Amino acid sequence: MSGAARIDRRQLVRTAAGVAAGGVLVAGTGVASASASDSSSGVLGGWWIEHTNDPPADPEPGTTVVSIGAGGIIVSNDIRPAGSVSNGVWAMDGDRFKATFWGTTDLGPDMPAGSVRVRVRGHLSGGKLVGTFTVTGYDATGAQIFTATGTFTGTRMAP
């Protein structure tokens, strides 16, 4: 694999990590609303997610903002490093949650954009969302390019 391909793959993993982190956040808020009696602590709103890839992927931390709406819809936006907007869905299983997000990513010069699928698993712990994610990258034809994993922590954003 060429050096340029490695850099492109690293960026794809970083983008996917942001997407994953957003998914975890949304699902975690579902846990909060399911267990809280105060309706103000529901799942709707914005979350700040910090995420890190597991080795051998680039372990540089990233930040994603996630917005949660009614009906299990999740929208995430990579902030650091700046990246794509991703969309997905989530579901609860007891006090645990799972989510799947899809986003696009730039694979490099003269290459069509690729896509990433992020699968998230987590729970709410002490008012924070914590969990893991798996990112799978695909080229423009839909062929799998890589898989990576990581962890995240999320906090509710203040107005």
Residue-wise pLDDT tens digits, 61-84: 999 998 877 788 888 899 998 888
The amino acid at residue 152 is: F
Residue-wise pLDDT tens digits, 91-100: 767 667 778 9
87 pLDDT more than 90: yes
Of all residues in the chain, the percent with pLDDT exceeding 90 is 31
- SS3 string, 1-25, reads CCHHHHHHHHHHHHHHHHHHHHHHH
Q: Is 38 in contact with 68 (CB distance < 8 Å)?
A: no
Confidence of residue 38 (pLDDT cuts 50, 70, 90): very low
Give residue limits of the domains in the chain.
Answer: 3-156
57 pLDDT more than 60: yes
Angstrom distance (rounded) from CA 102 to CA 75 = 10
48 pLDDT more than 50: yes
Residue-wise pLDDT tens digits, 118-159: 998 988 777 777 899 999 999 999 999 999 999 999 998 988
Q: What is the CATH number of domain 3-156?
A: 2.40.128.120
